[in-house]
Amino acid sequence: MLAVRGEVVELMSYVKLVARPDTWFKAGTEVYHYDAEPTRRLTLEEWNDWFKHGMVLVSGIRVIENPGSEGGGQIGEERRDGELCSCDEFDVEIVEEAR
């Protein structure tokens, strides 16, 4: 919480999730809330809810490795994709910015 001109304002916290190597998403890239428009990070509250289950539904950049099982494309091609992933596939940082 933050006091602004005598009023208490609650700041929103977000979670910056960065894909680790050898996971579904391209290593080192940030993933975002799966359903949010416009694209944004998960709130800390959303992350905590997902974390209880050990899995999180996010979208980010995927590098195609097997076109036959990944809906076509070329090996090495990057595309935006969504996936339910284990929470331990990401480095986590608490931030104040939604994007």
Instruction: Map residue 89 onto helix, strand or coil.
Output: helix
Which pTM value belongs to this model?
0.84
- DSSP-derived pairing of the beta strands 42-43 and 90-95: unpaired
Residue type, 26: K
Q: Look at residue 74 and tell me whether its pLDDT is greater than 70.
A: yes
Going through the chain in order, the beta strands assigned E by DSSP cover: 2-4, 7-9, 14-19, 30-33, 42-43, 55-63, 78-86, 90-95
Q: How confident is the model at residue 37 (pLDDT cuts 50, 70, 90)?
A: confident
